[in-house]
Amino acid sequence: MREEKIEEIKNTAMKIFHAYEDFYLDKDKRKIFDDLFDKYLTLVEMDRFMDTYDAIVSLGLTHPFEYDMMVKTLKDHSLISD
């Protein structure tokens, strides 16, 4: 995978991580994140040291189609921007 793509995944993962924290108290928006995380982050083999950011990066590196679907859904709900 190209270095530029890896950096793009890392930057987007950070946006998602921050948006999740920002919208955590909004039950409707938090549910969207929780549903997506339940659907997609279960594809990632997590260890006890990984946080949400690490799991999102791992998803982007190992399951790019599912990662793109998760990002698209978050953008469609205006939870993250380009």
pTM of the shown model: 0.91
Query: CB 12: neighbour CB atoms within 10 A?
Result: 21
Pair 34, 16: CB distance under 8 Å: no
Per residue in 23-57, pLDDT tens?
999 999 999 999 999 999 999 998 888 999 999 99
What is the predicted pLDDT for the residue at 12?
A: 97
What is the predicted pLDDT for the residue at 47?
A: 86
What is the predicted pLDDT for the residue at 1?
A: 73
What is the predicted pLDDT for the residue at 48?
A: 85
Averaged pLDDT of the chain: 95
